[in-house]
Structure 1
Amino acid sequence: MPLHRIFYSPGTFSEQDKEALAAHITKLYTSVGLPAFYVVVLFLPVEEQNYFVGGKKTNKFVRIIVQHIARQFQNSKQADKFISKYEEILAPFIKERGLDWEVHFEHVERNYWRENGLEVPLPNTIAEKEWVRLNKAVPYDEKDDVVG
């Protein structure tokens, strides 16, 4: 599951912006084979009186924290490529509007992750492909937790 927490000042994003940004982020992950339901995007507004950068109030800063569980970057080259694509998605919503932003990615061990109480199938397995097809977590047999 990639979990995206986007902290922003109210008024930064319209409802259409949020829907479009969440759709673009989701497409980035589904394009590499993850089920769409793995992708969670939370827009977390922070009132200006509660948002400080460098010790000063701001309404021109967006902070994004992304947790990766389903997949991990294998090396810095892979991370750089992915982060560049991610930044391209953000640009029309943040950079091109003159806002400042910060993004960081965290890796969480998949052993500590469950979907609807189910152990999550391994990447590119028959079971994971079924989760992609159905776009939801469903029980599966151990024999389906092999690359297929």
Structure 2
Amino acid sequence: MPLWHIHHTPDTLTVQDKQNFATDITAFYTRFGLPPFYAVALFHEIAADSCYVGGVSMPSVRITIDHLARQLDDPDLRRQMTERLHDLIAPYTHDRGLHLEFNVTEVPRDTWMIAGMFPPAAGSDIERGWAEANKPLPY
């Protein structure tokens, strides 16, 4: 699962922005065969007087992304993925003049459960069934 925590100051993202952003996040991962329900985006509004960058309060977005369903061992592939994520994020953030930072943490797959089950193997028939049903199915 990709779990996105999107911390933002007030008036930086509208309700429609959040919906569109979450839809774009989901589309990014389903291109690689992940079930749509794996993609989780949590939006956290942080008061302007509680967000400082370099000691200065400013409109900003800080995103942490946990990758549980897939990990990349190759540094070049990780760099490409990070650049693609930047391209996905940019229209909602720094293209609007907002300060943006994000990072990706890759979590070992064997430390993740969903609906009381370990996820099926990446690319397996079971995972494809989960993607088609858009929910975890017992196996």
**The two structures share one fold, judged by TM-score above 0.5:** yes
Q: Does 1:54 align with 2:68?
A: no
Question: Does residue 124 of structure 1 match 2:108?
Answer: no
Alignment correspondent of 1:133: 132
Map residues 26-65 of structure 1 onto 2, 5 A cutoff: 26-58=26-58, 60-65=59-64
Give distance in 2, aligned partners of 1:50 and 1:131.
40
In the alignment, which residue of structure 1 is the partner of 2:65?
66
Q: Distance in 2 between matches of 1:94 and 1:124?
A: 32
TM-score by length of 2: 0.96
Kindly provide the CA deviation profile for residues 59-116 of structure 1, in whole angstroms up to 9, marking residues without a partner as x: x211000000000012111111111111111121112111111110001111111111
For 1:110 and 1:5, locate their aligned partners in 2 and report how far apart those are by CA, in whole Å. 19
Measure, in 2, the Cα distance between the counterparts of 1:107 and 1:94. Answer: 23
Q: Which has the larger radius of gyration?
A: 1
Matched residues, number: 139
Q: Which residue type is aligned with residue 3 of structure 1?
A: L
- Specify the alignment match of 1:25 in structure 2: 25
Pairwise CA distance, 1:4 = 0.4
Cross-structure match for 1:145: none
Residue 103 of structure 2 is matched in structure 1 by 104
**After superposition, what is the alpha-carbon deviation per residue over 1:39-74, rounded to whole angstroms, capped at 9, x for unaligned?**
00011000011112222222x211000000000012
Partner residue in 2 for 1:144? none
Q: Give the residue type in structure 2 aligned to 1:112.
A: T
Matches of 1:119 and 1:89, distance apart in 2: 29
Distance 1:131 1:11 in 2: 36
Percent sequence identity over aligned pairs: 35
Higher relative contact order, chain-length normalized (CA < 8 Å, sep 6+): 2
